[in-house]
Structure formats: structure tokens, C-alpha cells
């Protein structure tokens, strides 16, 4: 729904998009492009969370001589920024394949003399591997990282507003003298952080989706700034908030589960290390 609302044509609102998608492509349409993100999400999440937590530990060691020292706001800001860069490096090819697979059956409404020989409305790619290989062969490495600039502008501030609110909310909800927040506090803090992050990141998420969807049939945008200008000129300022409800509503449960799984996994591993240590 998010991709179709942001980069597709003819959807008035979220409900209209949902009904149109179901009517034209049945239930299977809601799961297009799922396999590639599903196969890579473990590596992606572990790298992003690992960079964030280890950067904080390193800064704590350098500043205070103690890696377990609670991080200051500048430390969290730097750690979140580095996590955003890692997110772009790993996530751009995954998002590109996902969006190309989700958008390849969309009707093409823009006349263009540079249309590709593929017929709009019919599948161009047979699956994620074929999509990745085709883009790499025709467009090279720059094609695989198409939209990386927009994704960087989305993920760096997005992760700052993801990790920092989560940390602050967890600290606020942890009783004085407590070692760690309760699972319910983690769940609420993670969900709130996810909703805040995605609400703020939606404008650049729209731009990223449009740039990455561009190229299935058309080559409409020359870059991030050109996409922003064309989108604004054609559809006004409101275009940058397409899909914000889907992003925000989805962001809460996804982030809640992510942070809760992360914290519980850390506790389990620490407990295992304590039990096995002499």
C-alpha cells in the first residue's frame, strides 16, 4: 500500500488503494516484493542495531573510560547517523528490488518517447533475483543504488528520531535505581519511536519510492532534486505526505516488536554469558 500510494497513479486514499489492489491482484498483490526484504532483514537489522550500540559503547570508552556509561545526546546523535549510513548501504538494493516488483504491473499514464519495450500493466521481472540481475546488467551498480541520495536524506534523520526517542522514553519509564526498562515499557517506547520516525521520514520516503519505481517503464527523474521539483509542480505540497498514515500505523507494531526482540535477545545472551563464565 505504501509504495502504491507514493509512486502509483489513480489512488484517492488508502482505502481506495487497498480495494483496487485486492480487486485487480487479489490477496497475492499485498505480498509482492516480500521475499527479498524477508531474506535480508536479519542482516540488515543486526548491522543497524550493531553499529548503533557499538558506536555508543566506543564513545563511552573514549569519553569516560567505561563502555557501559549512559550515552550523552551527542553520542546518540552520532551513533544514529552512522546507523543511517549503514542502512542506506545495505537497504538501497533491497528497497529497489521490492519497489520494482511492486510497481511493475501498474498502469503507465505518462506519455514518453523513451518508453521501454515492456508493455505497461504486464510483469517485467520474473522475481527478485531476475529483477536484481536485470537492473545490474542494464544500469550497472548506479542502477542498483538508484535512490540512495533520497534514502540517505530519509534514514539519517529517521534513525536519529528512531533511536533517540526510544532511549529517552525508556530512561523516563525506568524506575530510579532500575537496571533496565520493563518489556511493556520497551514495547511502548519502541512503538512510539517508530511512529515518530516514520511520520517525519515520509516526505523523503515518497521521493525515494518514486525514484526507485522510475525506470520500470519510464525514465522520468534525473535525481532527487528533480523528483522533488516535478512532484511538487505536478501534485502540490501534499504529495510528500502520501502514505503517512500507512507508515505511521505500520511503524508502531513493527518497531515495538523489533525493539522488544532486541532487548530480550540481549538479556538472554548476557544471562547465558553469566551462567557459563567461571
Does 8 score more than 70 pLDDT? yes
The last residue of one of the domains, among 85, 118, 145, is 145
Comparing 32-46, 89-103, 119-133, 216-230, the range with the smallest average pLDDT is 119-133
Residue 227: inside a domain: yes
Number of domains forming the structure of the chain: 2
The last residue of one of the domains, among 99, 121, 145, is 145
Write down the pTM of the prediction.
0.85
In percent, the amount of the chain with pLDDT more than 90 equals 54
pLDDT for residue 115: 39
- What is the pLDDT averaged over residues 154-179? 89
191 and 135, same domain (yes or no): no
137 and 156, same domain (yes or no): no
Domain housing 255: 147-277
90 and 179, same domain (yes or no): no
CATH number at residue 176: 1.50.40.10
pLDDT for residue 217: 64
pLDDT for residue 177: 65
- What is the pLDDT averaged over residues 168-186? 84
66 and 162, same domain (yes or no): no
pLDDT for residue 231: 94
Does 152 score more than 60 pLDDT? yes
- What is the pLDDT averaged over residues 53-70? 86
User: Sorting pLDDT into bands at 50, 70 and 90, what band is 176?
Assistant: confident
Does 15 score more than 60 pLDDT? yes
Does 178 score more than 80 pLDDT? no
Comparing 38-47, 65-74, 146-155, 186-195, the range with the smallest average pLDDT is 65-74
pLDDT for residue 7: 82
User: Sorting pLDDT into bands at 50, 70 and 90, what band is 274?
Assistant: low
101 and 69, same domain (yes or no): yes
pLDDT for residue 112: 41
pLDDT for residue 118: 46
The last residue of one of the domains, among 145, 175, 195, is 145
Does 46 score more than 60 pLDDT? yes
C-alpha to C-alpha distance for 220 and 226, rounded to whole angstroms: 9
132 and 158, same domain (yes or no): no
Neighbours of 234 (CB within 10 A): 9
Handedness of CA 95, 97, 100, 105 (dihedral sign): negative
Does 156 score more than 90 pLDDT? yes
Per residue in 96-111, pLDDT (tens digit) is: 999 998 887 665 444 3
pLDDT for residue 155: 96
From the list 181, 178, 179, the residue with the least C-alpha distance to 168 is 181
Residue 220: inside a domain: yes
Residue 1: inside a domain: no
User: Sorting pLDDT into bands at 50, 70 and 90, what band is 123?
Assistant: low
In percent, the amount of the chain with pLDDT more than 70 equals 88
Amino acid at each position: 500500500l505504501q509504495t502504491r500510494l507514493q509512486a502509483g497513479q489513480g489512488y484517492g486514499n488508502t482505502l481506495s488503494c487497498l480495494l483496487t489492489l485486492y480487486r485487480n491482484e487479489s490477496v497475492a498483490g499485498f505480498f509482492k516484493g516480500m521475499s527479498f526484504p524477508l531474506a535480508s532483514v536479519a542482516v540488515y537489522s543486526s548491522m543497524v542495531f550493531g553499529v548503533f550500540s557499538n558506536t555508543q559503547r566506543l564513545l563511552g570508552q573514549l569519553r569516560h573510560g567505561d563502555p557501559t556509561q549512559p550515552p550523552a545526546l551527542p553520542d546518540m546523535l552520532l551513533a544514529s547517523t552512522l546507523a543511517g549510513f549503514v542502512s542506506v548501504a545495505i537497504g538501497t538494493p533491497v528497497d529497489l528490488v521490492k519497489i520494482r516488483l511492486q510497481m511493475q504491473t501498474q498502469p503507465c499514464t505518462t506519455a514518453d518517447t523513451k518508453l521501454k519495450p515492456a508493455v505497461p500493466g504486464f510483469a517485467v521481472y520474473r522475481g527478485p533475483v531476475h529483477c536484481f540481475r536485470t537492473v545490474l546488467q542494464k544500469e550497472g551498480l548506479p542502477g542498483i543504488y538508484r535512490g540512495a541520495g533520497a534514502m540517505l536524506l530519509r534514514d539519517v534523520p529517521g534513525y536519529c528520531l528512531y533511536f533517540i526517542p526510544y532511549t529517552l522514553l525508556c530512561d523516563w519509564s525506568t524506575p530510579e535505581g532500575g537496571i533496565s526498562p520493563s518489556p511493556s515499557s520497551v514495547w511502548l517506547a519502541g512503538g512510539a519511536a517508530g511512529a515518530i520516525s516514520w511520520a517525519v521520514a515520509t516526505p523523503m520516503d515518497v521521493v525515494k519510492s518514486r525514484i526507485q519505481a522510475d525506470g520500470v517503464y519510464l525514465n522520468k527523474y534525473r535525481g532527487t532534486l528533480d523528483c522533488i521539483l516535478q512532484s511538487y509542480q505536478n501534485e502540490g505540497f501534499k504529495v510528500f505526505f502520501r502514505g503517512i498514515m500507512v507508515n505511521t500505523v505500520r511503524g508502531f507494531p513493527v518497531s515495538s516488536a523489533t525493539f522488544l526482540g532486541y532487548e530480550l535477545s540481549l538479556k538472554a545472551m548476557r544471562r547465558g554469558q553469566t551462567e557459563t563464565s567461571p
